[in-house]
Structure 1
Amino acid sequence: MISSVFDNRDLQSLDVFLKRAMEKSLQSKNGHLDLFVRFLHGLCLESNQRLLVGLLGQTEISPGTIQRVINNLKKMNSDKISPDRSINIFHCLMEMNHLSLFQEIQEFLKSENRSEKKLSEIQCSALAFMLQMSEEVLDELDLQEYNTSERGRQRLIPAVRNCRKAGLTGCGLSEISCDYLAAALKSNPSHLRELYLCGNNLKDPDVKQLSDLQQSPDYRLETLRSVE
């Protein structure tokens, strides 16, 4: 993979290398490069930089380079990336010991006025990860209540696994969003029993995968409503 993401002209540009490595991993359909990319970002830690001597010919990474790596991760385009795959961007930031994002979401979850805080896409990925990993199963999750962009709400989709009732009403959902929902419910054990998608102008073909899950005895989804 290393040779496929940059050539000899970029040997001294660690931020370019890691950006291309991240893009390469996100193009993978099964996520088989995710752990490797996390490992590469972990090399940015000062305690691990000695491992870079034979790879990039340098023993110290400048603070400016590290900041560019962090900025690249936070701005990573998610147009064609599934919400589940986007969470790996958050993992890479954690590997770099960049804890501010984690702390921001912790503060957000403790806040009483969540609707006043506008969430970026990467913050939505972090929130989705923390919600789905929580030991407490949420009774209800309404993505419309979060102040973020449409793509931000897409990144929140994985969190529906860890709630009993979810609403994505009036979020401008598309067929691909329904595909993301179906994939989220298939890939891990899910507690979701009720799913409401009203107000999204969805047609029967758009929600076919979700309808199939509702009919399958292997899944818990009992109620699916896509029209009023």
Structure 2
Amino acid sequence: MKTDWKESSVDGFLERIIYKSLQSKNGHLDLFVRFLHGLCLESNQRLLVGLLGQTEISPETIQRVINNLKKMNSDEISPDRSINIFHCLMEMNHLSVHQEIQEFLKSENRSDKKLSEIQCSALAFMLQMSEEVLDELDLQKYNTSERGRQRLIPAVRNCRKARLMDCGLSEISCDYLAAALKSNPSHLRELDLKRNNLEDPDVKQLSDLQQSPDYRLETLRSVE
């Protein structure tokens, strides 16, 4: 790791380390990665100069780090892990994504606003952390890409009904859903997965949950 730091740029190092953390299934590196991104702030650099020696990260480098985070590809990255990208932006005091989602939630014409993947991660985080339980979460109402809708999956924890029809869900999406349903608390009682071209093995984890004390669904629709 020390060699990597010496031979690479700060933004390149941080990009590699966050990709490593996103591949983790249990998120054991999440806090460490947020801490490293927080070190980019000038105020934190001044506090740590006695420990690290003379350090200076240019505004251009910080902007590259922010850009790398915002465009990070979510292929094979779980929606829960993707939320840590949003946390890293917050650690760097880059509040624009958070402010954009706050404005989005206040707007009346939400379908007019196309959400990026990082905005979907921020929205998923804010919805699942809300004190108010949503009556229904319909991913089709959000103007975003298929990967963006997958990043919204963690929000099902804090809604009573999810209508996830026509969302291009896959077997791995069902894995994400199963993880969300196993979480405590999970308020989801009705889940609709129709018109996603899912085969029986794809929803096996969800079906297996019926035998688990963690299973709270009252209605599961997975076929026409």
TM-score (structure 1 length as normaliser):
0.90
CA offsets per residue over residues 1-51 of structure 1, 9 Å max, x none?
xx999xxxxxxxxx1111111111112221111000000111111110135
Q: Which shifted more, 49-58 or 101-110?
A: 49-58
**In structure 2, do the counterparts of structure 1 residues 4 and 195 end up closer, same or farther at CA, with 3 Å as the change threshold?**
farther
Work out the CA distance in 2 between the residues paired with 1:209 and 1:55.
48
> What displacement does 1:215 show?
4.2
Q: 8 Å contact 1:169–1:196 — kept in the other structure? A: yes
Aligned counterpart for 1:110 among listed residues 89, 106, 109 = 106
Cα distance, 1:63 vs structure 2: 0.9
Task: Confirm or deny: 8 A CA contact 1:144 1:169 kept in the other structure.
Answer: yes
- Give, in angstroms, the shift of residue 64 of structure 1: 0.6
Tell me which stretches of 4 or more aligned residues in structure 1 moved more than 6 Å.
none
**Shift of residue 217, structure 1, vs aligned partner:** 3.6
Q: For the residues of structure 1 that align with 2:51 and 2:206, how far apart are their CA atoms?
A: 46
Q: Deviations over 1:178-219 (max 9, x none)?
A: 111111121332000000011111111111111122343432
Separation in 1, partners of 2:184, 2:45? 35
**Deviation larger for 43-52 or 99-108:** 43-52
Partner SS state of residue 102, structure 1: helix
The range that moved more, 192-201 or 215-224, is 215-224
**Does structure 1 residue 84 correspond to structure 2 residue 80?**
yes
After superposition, give the CA deviation of every residue in 1:45-78 in whole Å (9 maximum; x if it has no partner): 1110135547876432211111000000011111
1:177 aligned to 173, 179, 192, which one? 173
C-alpha separation in 2, matches of 1:4 and 1:32: 24
Aligned residue number for residue 158 of structure 1: 154
| Distance of 1:63 and 1:4 partners within structure 2 | 14
Contact 2:167 2:196 in 1 (8 A): yes
Greater shift, 180-189 or 104-113, is seen at: 180-189
Report the CA distance between 1:96 and its aligned residue: 0.5
Q: Is the 8 A contact 1:141 1:167 kept in 2?
A: yes
Match in the other structure for 1:41: 37
CA contact (8 A) 2:160 2:189 kept: yes
Coordinate RMSD, CA, aligned:
2.0
Give the secondary structure class of the aligned counterpart of 1:19.
helix
* Secondary structure of the corresponding residue to residue 195 of structure 1: strand
Paired with 1:193 and 1:127, the residues of 2 have a C-alpha distance of 21
Q: Percent identity?
A: 92
Question: 1:158 & 1:4 partners in 2: Cα distance?
Answer: 33
Which deviates further from its counterpart, 86-95 or 215-224? 215-224
Q: Which runs of 5+ in 1 are unaligned?
A: 6-14
Gaps of 5+ in 2: 1-7
SS in 1 for 2:201: helix
Q: Is the 8 A contact 2:191 2:221 kept in 1?
A: yes
Q: C-alpha distance in 1, partners of 2:129/2:210?
A: 24
